[in-house]
Amino acid sequence: MQQRLLGEGLEGRIVIVTGAAGGIGGATAVAAAESGAIVWALDLPGEALESAVAALPGEGHRAVGLDLSDTEAIEPAIRDLVASTDAPLWGLVHAAAYLRRKDYTEVTVADWDIQVDVNIKATFFLNRVVGDLLVEGGIGGRIINFTSVAWMTGALVGSDVYVATKGAVVSMTKGFVKRLGPAGITVNVIAPGQVDTAMQRVDNTDAWMAAAAEGTPLRRMGRPDELASVALFLLSDNASFVSGTTLNVSGGALLY
């Protein structure tokens, strides 16, 4: 059988990566750019996003500064971007998310609202606009959303609301799988275990993180590039018959 590179099929194609100034999104943006994709890197506007894009290998990448809690702005922003280029849109890797850690005795309605906006509503509107544009493009495509293994295991410390939103990502994605499949578009979810990024460190001490990692089969946290390689596979021609899966990438922390 012919050997294929992990990122086969991305050359000259646009891949939108959200959370691109963060750990996993940032590593995925690099991996996609190394495979020849034109990366539209979406994150909160600012220096972190600009420098992440400046560091990408290759040409034509763009920084898309957008606050995803402004859910009304998502669809017009993506449509305007796509209208401004002749390059084909191929994929969305939606890694942006917001975790507000709070003990459940202290959770407020405002805590719910911001996490629902960023993690659920923005996922819906991003998937819808990218899905529609991919159907119009006529070459198929890829959508990859991010949940967490905690969608299945439940909250660890102070993440009840976040985990509920991550469960919603899994169930919502199943609808897109069925809707977009006839146009040759695959839709999948990645479920990371513990990965050493800024989000993992939100209100967790180093000692807590070390102990948690020690309790897993590989005795360590994942690195962002170990999630990026999975996203790259799902984006590529190699994953052409993979759709509707929630891929457990936890180093064996979650067993099912």
Residue from 17, 134, 195, 249 that binds ligand NAD (CB under 6 A)?
195
**Judged by CB under 6 A, how many residues of this single chain contact ligand NAD?**
25
Q: Does residue 168 sit in helix, strand or coil? A: helix
- Asked if residue 19 binds ligand NAD (CB under 6 A), the reply is yes
In whole angstroms, how close is the CB of 2 to ligand NAD at the nearest point?
33
* Given 98, 104, 162, 256, the catalytic residue: 162
- Asked if residue 160 binds ligand NAD (CB under 6 A), the reply is no
Length of the chain equals: 256
Q: What letter does residue 181 receive in the DSSP assignment?
A: G
Rounded-to-integer distance, Cα 235 and Cα 184, Å: 13
Measured from the CB atom, is 70 or 237 closer to ligand NAD? 70
Residue from 199, 232, 235, 254 that binds ligand NAD (CB under 6 A)?
199
CA angle 167, 152, 147 (to 5 degrees): 45
DSSP string, 202-255: TT--HHHHHHHHHTSTTSSPBPHHHHHHHHHHHHSGGGTT--S-EEEESTTSS-
Q: Is 256 a catalytic residue?
A: no
Measured from the CB atom, is 133 or 199 closer to ligand NAD? 199
- Asked if residue 198 binds ligand NAD (CB under 6 A), the reply is yes
Please give the residues from 77 up to 116 whose contact with ligand NAD meets the rule CB under 6 A.
Answer: 95-98
- Count the alpha carbons within 13 Å of 147 in the hemisphere toward its beta carbon: 28
Measured from the CB atom, is 65 or 181 closer to ligand NAD? 65
- Asked if residue 118 binds ligand NAD (CB under 6 A), the reply is yes
Measured from the CB atom, is 9 or 194 closer to ligand NAD? 194
Nearest CA among 185, 108, 177, 119 for reference residue 150: 119
**211 Cα distance to chain centroid:** 26
In whole angstroms, how close is the CB of 221 to ligand NAD at the nearest point?
7
CB 24 within 8 A of CB 228: yes
- Asked if residue 158 binds ligand NAD (CB under 6 A), the reply is no
Measured from the CB atom, is 87 or 152 closer to ligand NAD? 152
Report the chain's terminal Cα–Cα distance, integer Å: 31
Q: Which residues does the annotation mark as catalytic?
A: 162
**Residues interacting with ligand NAD, by CB under 6 A?**
19, 21-25, 43-44, 67-69, 95-98, 118, 146, 148, 192, 194-195, 197-200
